[in-house]
């Protein structure tokens, strides 16, 4: 029997609006015994993502919702403490796609992926620029938007973990890039540090007017993370042959019911637009390409990113709420253990 306690967050109820501390419960119990082929992982880092809010709802979505009483779903990085799998030894560093919001995960060895460190990059980069968020940006821009040199891209949540990488890849591909972000600091960062051609602070500017000013020739691509009126402002300025990669609709996740689309859907027809929704888990076959290119671009100084690490699993719910107020700076992670 294991004598270590596993601390974890379980879903207590479905949030009615922004996820709050009473929606999850922090509980503790001894770690489960290992079954055949299983490994025990001590988690070091937990990824927090907008999609977590979807999993807490019973909205029709791309994975089954987390059930009430179940451990909250999330990707972790940790160290193998015990192994009954041939594939791993104690001491191995692994990534668990569904490690969960807990200090210790018991999982089949087949659910873990060994992490090969990349020189000069911190461990948490495997949950951010080299992880799912980097892959999301890579696939969403290159495969879904299919940028051509000289085209104009607008990306929302542009200072976020995905958006900031999207904009930088688009610059590498020769596009004009305008980012929509909240607040002067984020806007300064994406222009001054990341090289975007322009930024719109949606908290202080009318997005449509700013788009008219910054995109006088219209918009060819919308990398859409936000939905709602911001999406509509970009959509309604898409040029003939324009593309929207629909990556997220975070502005609507805290409300129940349908997520609104563009006001004038007729533009899809008149302007021959393509709208394509995508979820990164369908595109894991591009992981090796993304990793190769992203490591190269980082080495060349063409891609910069920020990780925002919150210490302590007990602070995970507080941290999650930051995603929805924008009170975070870069990819949001929880340090579960040193």
Decide: is 35 part of the binding site for its own copies (CB under 8 A).
Answer: no
Comparison of 261 and 326: residue with beta carbon closer to its own copies = 261
Comparison of 61 and 204: residue with beta carbon closer to its own copies = 61
Q: Report DSSP letters for 203-230, one per residue.
A: TTS-HHHHHHHH-TT-EEEEEESS-HHH
To its own copies, the closest distance from the beta carbon of 61 in angstroms equals 5
**Interaction mask 214-233, its own copies, x per CB under 8 A:** -------------x------
Per CB under 8 A, contacts with its own copies among 61-100 are 61-62
Nearest Cα to 337, choosing from 45, 4, 21, 3? 45
Comparison of 117 and 241: residue with beta carbon closer to its own copies = 241
**Interaction mask 230-249, its own copies, x per CB under 8 A:** ----------------xxxx
The two structure tokens encoding residue 156: 């929302």
Exactly one of 59, 286, 302, 306 binds its own copies (CB under 8 A); that residue is 59
Decide: is 212 part of the binding site for its own copies (CB under 8 A).
Answer: no
The two structure tokens encoding residue 311: 């210490």
Comparison of 5 and 282: residue with beta carbon closer to its own copies = 282
Of the ranges 8-16, 80-88, 94-102, 256-264, which one interacts with its own copies (CB under 8 A)?
256-264
To its own copies, the closest distance from the beta carbon of 217 in angstroms equals 17
**Interaction mask 262-291, its own copies, x per CB under 8 A:** xxxxxxxxxxxxxxxxxx--x---------
Residue 231 is classified by DSSP as H
**Which positions ≥6 away from 40 have C-beta within 8 Å?**
2, 31, 34, 80, 81, 82, 83, 104, 105, 106
Exactly one of 27, 90, 206, 259 binds its own copies (CB under 8 A); that residue is 259
Comparison of 235 and 297: residue with beta carbon closer to its own copies = 235
Encode 232-259: b = buried (16+ Cβ within 10 Å), e = exposed: bbbbebbbeebbbbbbbbbbbbeeeeee
83, 89 Cβ separation under 8 angstroms: yes
For residue 6, what are the β-bridge partners?
29
Decide: is 254 part of the binding site for its own copies (CB under 8 A).
Answer: no
Of the ranges 109-117, 153-161, 189-197, 252-260, which one interacts with its own copies (CB under 8 A)?
252-260
Comparison of 202 and 235: residue with beta carbon closer to its own copies = 235
Q: How many residues bind its own copies (CB under 8 A)?
A: 33
**Which positions ≥6 away from 192 have C-beta within 8 Å?**
none
Q: CA geometry: angle at 249 spanning 246 and 251, to 5°? A: 155
Residue given tokens 């100084």 in the structure block = 301
Helix or strand (DSSP H, E) at 29: strand 24-30
Per CB under 8 A, contacts with its own copies among 116-135 are none
Exactly one of 261, 304, 306, 326 binds its own copies (CB under 8 A); that residue is 261
Decide: is 7 part of the binding site for its own copies (CB under 8 A).
Answer: no
**Which positions ≥6 away from 261 have C-beta within 8 Å?**
none
To its own copies, the closest distance from the beta carbon of 257 in angstroms equals 8
Of the ranges 37-45, 76-84, 191-199, 257-265, which one interacts with its own copies (CB under 8 A)?
257-265
Nearest Cα to 93, choosing from 115, 109, 117? 115
Comparison of 111 and 275: residue with beta carbon closer to its own copies = 275
The two structure tokens encoding residue 166: 């999207």
CA-based end-to-end distance of the chain: 25
Chain residues in the site for its own copies (CB under 8 A):
59-62, 227, 246-249, 252, 258-279, 282
């Amino acid at each position: 029997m294991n004598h270590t306690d596993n601390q974890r967050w379980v879903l207590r109820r479905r949030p009615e609006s922004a996820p709050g501390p009473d929606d999850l419960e922090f509980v503790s119990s001894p770690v489960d015994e290992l079954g055949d082929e299983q490994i025990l992982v001590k988690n070091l880092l937990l990824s927090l993502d907008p999609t977590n809010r979807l999993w807490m709802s019973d909205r029709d979505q791309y994975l089954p919702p987390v059930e009430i009483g179940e451990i909250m779903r999330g990707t972790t990085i940790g160290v193998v403490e015990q192994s009954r799998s041939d594939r791993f030894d104690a001491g191995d560093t692994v990534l668990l796609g569904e490690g969960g919001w807990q200090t210790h995960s018991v999982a089949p060895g087949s659910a873990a992926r060994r992490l090969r460190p990349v020189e000069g990059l911190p461990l948490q980069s495997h949950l951010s620029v080299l992880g799912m968020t980097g892959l999301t940006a890579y696939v969403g821009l290159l495969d879904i938007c299919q940028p051509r040199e000289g085209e104009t891209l607008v990306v929302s949540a542009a200072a976020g973990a995905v958006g900031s990488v999207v904009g930088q890849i688009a610059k590498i591909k020769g596009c004009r890039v305008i980012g929509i972000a909240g607040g002067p600091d984020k806007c300064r960062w994406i222009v001054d540090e990341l090289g975007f051609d322009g930024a719109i602070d949606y908290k202080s500017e009318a997005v449509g007017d700013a788009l008219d000013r910054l995109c006088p020739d219209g918009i060819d691509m919308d990398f859409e993370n936000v939905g709602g009126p911001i999406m509509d402002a970009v959509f309604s300025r898409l040029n003939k042959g324009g593309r929207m990669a629909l990556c997220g609709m975070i502005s609507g996740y805290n409300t129940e019911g349908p997520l609104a689309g563009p006001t004038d859907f007729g533009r899809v027809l008149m302007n021959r637009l393509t709208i394509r929704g995508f979820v990164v888990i369908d595109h894991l076959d591009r992981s090796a390409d993304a990793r190769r290119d992203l490591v190269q671009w980082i080495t060349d100084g063409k891609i910069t990113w920020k990780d925002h690490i919150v210490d302590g699993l007990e602070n995970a719910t507080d941290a999650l709420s930051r995603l929805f107020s924008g009170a975070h700076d870069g990819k949001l992670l929880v340090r579960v253990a040193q």
